[in-house]
Amino acid sequence: MKLTIIKYNAGNIQSVLYALERIGMEAVVTDDHQLIREADKVIFPGVGEASSAMKYLKERGLDTLIKSLQQPVLGICLGMQLMCKYSEENNTDCLGIFDEQVRKFVPQNGEKVPQIGWNNIYDLKSPLFSNVAEESYCYFVHGYAASLGEHTIGTTNYIQPYSSALHKDNFYGVQFHPEKSATVGEQIIKNFCTNI
């Protein structure tokens, strides 16, 4: 199986590659359109800021490429947020694959923003979560979150419930970092590689 990780100006890309290696999967990190198009599965990772990431993707035509992909695509963290319609982070129009909107966390009771740490995922509705128990803990680092909507396949509560996983057609997204979420994360990555 050919697995490709999209290379762009966002952090944490190496971590995804290493996590795949730990479960015995090989992947190519590239921004080459042809290699991405030819892949069996594509991972769109990222830690960073939405508007500069979108600008970078547009300059390289990666925005249209990602939207046109037919094979399974998994967005992680910023990758998932960029697959949504819009992000409040510097008023950024994103790829619009998911209709959900990305909004800044507004503390209501002294909560820290960004959310950093382990939180649970529930209402899991996808083969992406095969053998993953309801309320499993995953590692999150984010200051913005996608609203709940028709594409929500996983929910997490921080200040209020939000989409910690989304799915539409061949596109999947997770807000947490499966590559850093211990054995639960490894199971989710395995599911994407073998179950989707």
Partner 1 sequence: MLTKRIIPCLDIKDGRTVKGTNFVDLRDAGDPVELGALYAKEGADELVFLDITATVEKRKTLSELVNRIAHHVNIPFTVGGGISSVDDVSVLLQNGADKISVNTAAFKRPELIVELEKEFGSQCVVLAIDTRQEEDGEWYVYLNGGRTKTDMKCLDWAKKGVDNGAGEILLTSMNHDGTKQGFALDITRTLATQLPVPVIASGGGGTMDHFIDAFEKGMADAALAASIFHFKEIAIPDLKAYLKDKNIEVRV
In the set 49, 77, 84, 193, the catalytic residue is 77
Beta-sheet pairing, 73-76 with 41-44? parallel
The residue among 100, 122, 68 whose CA lies nearest residue 167 is 100
Decide if 179 is catalytic.
yes
Question: Does 177 help bind partner 1 (rule: CB under 8 A)?
Answer: yes
DSSP-derived secondary structure for 125-185: -SGGGTT--TTEEEEEEESEEEPP-TTEEEEEEESEEEEEEEEETTEEEESS-GGGSHHHH
- Pick from 170, 186, 195, 196 the residue near partner 1 by CB under 8 A: 186
**Residue selected from 25, 65, 141, 148 as contacting partner 1 according to rule CB under 8 A:** 141
84 is catalytic: no
Work out whether the CA dihedral 116, 186, 79, 47 comes out positive or negative: positive
The smaller minimum CB distance to partner 1, of residues 4 and 12, is found at 12
Question: Side chain identity at 142, as an amino acid letter?
Answer: H
Least separation in angstroms between CB 150 and partner 1: 26
The residue type at 171? F
> Is residue 22 involved in binding partner 1 (CB under 8 A)?
yes
Is 100 one of the binding residues for partner 1 (CB under 8 A)?
no
Q: Which of 51, 71, 101, 119 binds partner 1 (CB under 8 A)?
A: 119
The identity of residue 98, as a single letter, is F
Respond yes or no: is residue 77 known to be catalytic: yes
Binding marks (x or -) toward partner 1, 37..66, rule CB under 8 A? ----------xxx-----------------
Q: Which residues are catalytic?
A: 77, 177, 179
